[in-house]
Amino acid sequence: MSTVAGVGLDREELRERYRVEREKRLRADGTDQYVRIAGEYAHFEDDPYVAPGFTRPPRTDDVEVALIGGGFGGLLTGARLHQLGVEDVRIIEKGGDVGGTWYWNRYPGIACDVESYVYIPLLEELDYVPVEKYSRGEEIQAHCRRIAEHFDLYRNAMLQSRVTEVRWDEGVRRWIITTDRGDAIRARFVTLANGFLQKPKLPGIPGLATFRGRAFHTSRWEYSYTGGDARGNLTGLVDKRVGIIGTGATAVQCVPHLGAAAAHLYVFQRTPSSIDVRANRPTDPDWAGLLEPGWQQRRIENFQVLTAGGWSEEDLVADGWTDITRKLLSVSVQQGNPDLSPEAIAEMLETADFLKMEEIRARVDELVADPATAEALKPWYRQFCKRPCFHDEYLQTFNRKNVTLVDTRGRGVERITEDGVVVDGTTYELDCLIFATGFEVGTSYSRRAGFEIVGRGGRTLTEHWANGVRTFHGIHIHGFPNLFMNSTAQSALTVNFPYLIDLQARHAAWTIAEALARDIGEVEASAEAEAGWVDEVVTRAARSAQFSEGCTPGYYNNEGTADAKSRQGTFFFGAPTEYAEILETWRAEGTMEGLECR
């Protein structure tokens, strides 16, 4: 028996258990197991947060910069442009307000479990300190509105406007943006900030369309039916049998509220999440009062370093996210003078991971009374195979008499009927079925965005990316002048998305401001610069492929079917601070190397 760090865990046994659990979940249809929200399913994407009947006359004017998407991507790019004196900016947003993720996701219990002081951007600039260590969704959405107001981004914004195409017009050297409101806006620069996890997906379960009760996706919560609000109190469900499919980060947050309200709640689980301690607490006013200028950026960078497995004397955030790194350090200290070969480091990482996951599994036994239910709620994979979750009421919800965990043992729901959900031949009759089944990742960019981007010579982005994503710095694309991506593809891997978004926002804003100042008509990635970045990403992705291939399926590894093409579209795979340094150095040099300036 090869024991782990002298604590009696059998390394081979754990590896084998993880492998078996992964095998159970692998499916030949990979990402095709999900159905596209269109046609008979189109209503699953309707905006429940706006009054119906909004109209306005079409617009055909000019703007310097169009920001497609009013989430953190559009807002931060707008803010950074404003700081550089570029004011002729327009956000074009399909929702009824800014906020993106925080506009759409309003389900009961919604909160962010990345610490608010590092997650919420521009705190110092806007003189705001969040009220809790982990913010609720409403507070973050309100902060999005605060950013839009502070940087004057509402004045020119077009809300409830869904982009239908973005096309480069060679004649006028402008992008033409058309929308479902009949608009044709001309923009000199465009930032695509239409979001990463934004296109809801539904599982292609047989009978999906036949259910006669109420059904909706968590990102379009129907409070008109459930009653209550993001804080719970779902009075409309007191006499309802409710089912929820999915047990990812979203379900973990809303299940306690559903359990508290529904006559009966059935939670249909395919793979359990890892649920660590959350320990939220109000912000200490004394602490907030002593914060010194520059505190937020220092805290953000400290968190980036630690969550990327780097070394820092201090751990300012000190929570579940940084705990894995602390465990790793303690393993290496236990080993005295550790061997630092790549193999030895990989083994130490695995050891730290085993220790962490044992702790997570022990927590389930501590909190869940019924042993069979507890067993079913234990995750058997490495912590970062799926998004780790943090919650202090989720597991206890399964101790309620009106809550049943229906564990599908990795297979997923068998069938949906007019009356409910079938698992192992048993029908669970339901009045309401909620899909906590996540968002499209790994489908084509234009499918997720909902529009095509047509660049120089009429070439579409779909054509340009037919064999895999191609960018320079994860931001510029050859053949698409004056266009900037704000996206995870080929950019830094971080658990704190606004950090990445802001890096790209600053970079795009700087490039636009420089192009305007230097009177450059077009900036576009050269074919060579793009090829160089793609090669770098592919090389780095190959190094981490082994980890991801050993993982249980999910959107992190293209449902366990990650191939060279899909790996090319993933992150840049370095510490996020390394990505930041690459961009900062490039800007400091000021030569715009890799861009063709015309």
Interacting residues with ligand NDP (CB under 6 A) = 25, 112-113, 197, 203, 205, 245-251, 253, 268, 270-271, 387, 408, 412-413, 436-439, 554-555
Q: Pick between residue 246 and residue 474 the one whose CB is nearest to ligand NDP.
A: 246
Nearer to ligand NDP, 164 or 417 (CB): 417
Q: How far is the CB of 423 from ligand NDP (least distance, A)?
A: 9
Our CB check for ligand NDP shows the closer of 404 and 462 to be: 404
Q: What letter does residue 283 receive in the DSSP assignment?
A: P
Indicate the residue among 70 and 554 with the shorter CB distance to ligand NDP: 554
d(C-alpha 15, C-alpha 9), whole Å:
11
Residue 130: which region, alpha, beta or left (left: phi > 0; alpha: psi -120 to 50)?
A: beta
Of 178, 134, 154, the C-alpha closest to 70 is 154
Shortest distance in whole angstroms from residue 408 CB to ligand NDP? 6
DSSP 284-345: PHHHHHTPPTTHHHHHHHHHHHHHTT---S--SS-SHHHHHHHHHHHHHHHTSS---SHHHH
- Residue 276 CB, shortest distance to ligand NDP, in Å, is 11
Smallest gap from residue 436 Cβ to ligand NDP (A): 5
Question: Whole-number minimum distance, CB 533 to ligand NDP, in Å?
Answer: 25
Q: Least distance (Å) from ligand NDP to the CB of residue 347?
A: 27
DSSP string, 164-192: EEEEEETTTTEEEEEETTS-EEEEEEEEE
Of 176 and 432, which has the nearer Cβ to ligand NDP?
Answer: 432
Closest to 437 measured CA to CA, from 257, 270, 237, 264:
270
The least distance separating ligand NDP from the CB of residue 326, rounded to whole angstroms, comes to 21
Q: What is the CA radius of gyration of the chain?
A: 24
Kindly state the smallest distance separating residue 247's Cβ from ligand NDP, in Å.
Answer: 4
DSSP state of 241: E
Q: How far is the CB of 203 from ligand NDP (least distance, A)?
A: 4
By beta-carbon proximity to ligand NDP, the closer residue of 112 and 118 is 112
Are 134 and 280 a contacting pair, CB within 8 Å?
yes
Given its phi and psi angles, is residue 409 left (phi above 0), alpha (psi -120 to 50 degrees) or beta? Answer: left
Nearer to ligand NDP, 120 or 595 (CB): 120
505: left (phi over 0), alpha (psi -120 to 50) or beta: alpha
- Cβ atoms of 356 and 324 within 8 Å: the answer is yes
Sign of the CA dihedral 292, 297, 302, 306?
Answer: positive
Minimal distance, residue 111 CB to ligand NDP, in Å: 6
Cβ closer to ligand NDP: 198 or 332? Answer: 198
CA atoms within 13 A on the CB side of 93: 28
Least distance between ligand NDP and beta carbon 252 (Å): 7
| Shortest spacing between CB 367 and ligand NDP, in angstroms | 18
Q: Which two tokens stand for residue 459?
A: 């070439």
108, two tokens: 């009961």
327: tokens are 């465990």
For ligand NDP, the closer CB: 354 or 439? 439
- CB of 188 or CB of 270, closer to ligand NDP: 270
Nearer to ligand NDP, 249 or 523 (CB): 249
Helices (H), 97-228: 101-104, 116-119, 137-150, 223-226
CA-CA distances (angstroms) from residue 16 to 13, 19, 386, 408? 5, 5, 18, 21
Q: What is the dihedral of CA 348, 352, 358, 363, to 10 degrees?
A: 180
Residues contacting 287, CB < 8 A, separation 6+: none
Instruction: Kindly tell me which of 86 and 114 has the beta carbon lying closer to ligand NDP.
Output: 114
CA distance 265 to 258: 7
